[in-house]
Each structure stands twice: as structure tokens, then as C-alpha cells.
């Protein structure tokens, strides 16, 4: 089994294009599990004709205070790093949006007045198409914590297949949660000043997590050569260089996969797949 994450330092580089087309191509010869971990804006499912889907809620524990037991000592409030629980005289206020479900308030309460009840913050979607299995997470609007949804998505990983993770853009907590523990991470970038700056942050994140990295330069026929120079200086393998292409843009706009319509692009993604296999073997 190999777990391959697709990430990017910034949005709009083509990360989802790479993840979905690569999933389609690899599923022709093996069982592939595609995980959409961009839970604040999931869209991988739009590119496939999945069989009927199944959804399940994602719940996190939320403190519940028994006011008959509570004596207002304030130990729970003092222990909460996130200020999610406050004691005001005889009242105890719980702020769900601030709670990280760590359980410390229930643990430290000297009167066992704090228990936990489930709170639904999003859903998982399970689907399939041929030899491809799909699991996607979606965080409900207004909910601030994406990592619990991503953790729930990643719990569905099973041995015996290739797992592709479509991570959130950027380098914040959702992206860290998505690529943590992956065998390899493909960073999709573009040859612009913004692309370079955000790539540098993404590389730093990946190295701190100890995940081997490879670079895909999208729209390589635009911009300048600073991304290429940076990859050379940092000994980062360039797995593929994809040109700006109207056929690819048209396919994406109508929710289609370019590898289903273009032999040239199938060849490009085959070469990318081979480069990733090389990187997984430590050849990067």
C-alpha cells in the first residue's frame, strides 16, 4: 500500500486536477482509494460518475455541565487553553465554536460535573466507480475545525490499495493533518512569484513532517525560472512539467478528466505516476 498526498502552497495551482486525473489513470490497473481532504471546499466527486453514495455524520465531543453537581469552582475554565468554557457565578457557559474536544474540562472537574455529548460538525461521503473507492469529507458551514473531519476521512484508509489524498491548499492545520503520515507528497506549484513563495512554505511544512516530496510545475510555459532554480538548489525532484493547455482547461470547466479525452495528457500522467513510484522507492 502507498499513501500519496497531493498538496500545494496556494490555491489555484492545479492540485485537484493532478489528484483526480492521477486517480483515474492509476485505477485502470489497480484499486485506488481517493480521499478528498479539502473538507472546506470538496469537489473531487464532481469529476466522477460514482455509484449511489452513502453519507455518515462526523461527531466531536462537546462538554455538558450538570449544574446540580457543579459548585462553580472554575477549575474547568482555568484548564481550558481555548477559552471554550467559562464560569460566571452559578452559570457555566460553553462556546462550541472554540471547543477543540480535548476533554480536559471533564478530566479536571473535581465534582464530575462535566460530561461530554456528541456534536455533528460535518459528513463523510462514501462512493465508488469501478476499481476506485472514494471517501470525501465536508465541514458544515460556520464550523471552524476541519482537522476532525480530515481525521475521520483518513481512518477509512485500508491496506491493499493505492491511496491518493487531495489535501487543502496552503500550509495551515487542515493541510498538515491531511499529509501527515503519507508515504509521499506531490506539491503542485506554478512558475510565479506567489507560486515560489508558497512552495517554499509547503516544502518547509513537508520536511518538518518528514514526508518525501516531489514537485509538479503546472503552467510551466508561463512565468519565470525561479521555481526551477529553487528546486535545483533544494534538491527537490521535479516529477512533471505541465503546460498551460486549453483542452485541460475546458475539461476542468465542464467537470471532466483530461486523461479520458487526450492521449497526450494520458502520457503525461503516466510519466508522473512512474516518477512518483520512483520517489516512493527512494529514488527522488
- Nearest CA among 225, 247, 248 for reference residue 238: 225
Going by the DSSP 8-state scheme, the letter that residue 231 receives in this structure is H
N- to C-terminal Cα separation, the chain: 19
Domains and their CATH numbers in the chain:
2-57+121-280 (3.40.50.300), 67-112 (3.30.70.20)
Extended beta strands in the chain, E state: 2-7, 32-36, 54-65, 85-88, 91-94, 114-129, 132-139, 162-166, 184-189, 213-218, 238-242
Q: What is the pLDDT of residue 13?
A: 92
Neighbours of 6 (CB within 10 A): 28
- Nearest CA among 171, 140, 142, 133 for reference residue 36: 133
Per-residue pLDDT of the chain (284 residues; tens, 9 = 90+): 699 999 998 889 999 999 999 999 999 989 999 999 999 999 999 999 998 789 999 999 999 999 999 999 999 999 999 999 999 988 999 999 999 999 999 999 999 999 999 999 999 999 999 999 999 999 999 999 999 999 999 999 988 889 999 999 999 999 999 999 999 999 999 999 999 999 999 999 999 999 999 999 999 998 899 999 999 999 999 999 999 998 899 999 999 999 999 999 999 999 999 999 988 877 55
- Nearest CA among 126, 128, 127, 153 for reference residue 139: 153
Beta bridge partners of 215: 187, 238
Cell 516518477 locates to: 275
Distance CA 22, CA 233 (A): 28
Q: What is the pLDDT of residue 52?
A: 79
Q: Please list, residue by residue across 134-169, b when 16 or more beta carbons sit within 10 angstroms of its beta carbon and e when fewer do.
A: bbbbbbeeebebbbbbbbbbbeeeeeebbbbbbbbb
Q: What is the pLDDT of residue 284?
A: 52
Backbone torsions φ then ψ of 88, nearest 5 degrees: -120, 95
Q: What is the pLDDT of residue 1?
A: 64
Q: What is the pLDDT of residue 160?
A: 81
- Nearest CA among 280, 283, 272 for reference residue 240: 272
Amino acid at each position: 500500500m502507498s499513501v500519496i498526498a497531493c498538496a500545494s502552497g496556494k490555491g489555484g495551482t492545479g492540485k485537484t486536477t493532478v489528484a483526480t486525473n492521477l486517480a483515474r489513470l492509476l485505477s485502470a490497473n489497480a484499486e485506488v482509494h481517493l480521499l478528498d481532504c479539502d473538507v472546506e471546499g470538496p469537489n473531487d466527486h464532481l469529476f466522477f460518475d460514482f455509484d449511489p453514495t452513502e453519507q455518515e455524520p462526523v461527531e466531536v465531543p462537546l462538554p455538558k455541565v450538570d449544574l446540580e453537581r457543579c459548585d462553580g469552582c472554575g477549575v474547568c475554565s482555568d484548564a481550558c487553553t481555548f477559552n471554550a468554557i467559562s464560569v460566571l457565578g452559578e452559570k457555566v457557559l460553553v462556546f462550541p465554536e472554540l471547543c477543540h474536544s480535548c476533554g480536559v474540562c471533564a478530566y479536571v472537574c473535581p465534582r464530575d460535573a462535566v460530561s461530554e455529548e456528541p456534536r455533528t460538525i460535518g459528513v463523510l461521503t462514501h462512493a465508488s466507480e469501478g476499481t476506485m473507492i472514494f471517501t470525501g469529507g465536508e465541514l458544515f458551514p460556520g464550523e471552524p475545525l476541519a482537522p476532525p473531519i480530515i481525521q475521520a476521512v483518513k481512518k477509512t484508509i485500508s491496506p491493499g490499495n493505492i491511496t491518493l489524498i487531495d489535501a487543502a491548499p496552503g500550509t495551515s492545520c487542515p493541510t498538515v493533518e491531511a499529509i501527515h503520515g503519507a508515504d509521499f507528497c506531490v506539491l503542485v506549484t506554478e512558475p510565479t512569484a506567489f507560486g515560489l513563495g508558497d512552495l517554499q512554505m509547503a516544502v518547509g511544512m513537508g520536511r518538518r513532517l518528514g514526508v518525501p516530496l516531489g514537485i509538479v510545475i503546472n503552467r510551466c510555459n508561463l512565468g519565470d525560472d525561479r521555481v526551477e532554480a529553487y528546486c535545483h538548489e533544494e534538491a527537490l525532484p521535479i516529477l512533471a512539467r505541465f503546460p498551460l493547455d486549453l483542452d485541460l482547461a475546458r475539461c476542468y470547466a465542464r467537470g471532466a478528466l483530461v486523461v479520458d479525452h487526450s492521449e497526450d495528457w494520458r502520457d503525461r500522467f503516466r510519466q508522473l505516476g512512474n516518477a512518483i513510484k520512483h520517489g516512493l522507492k527512494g529514488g527522488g
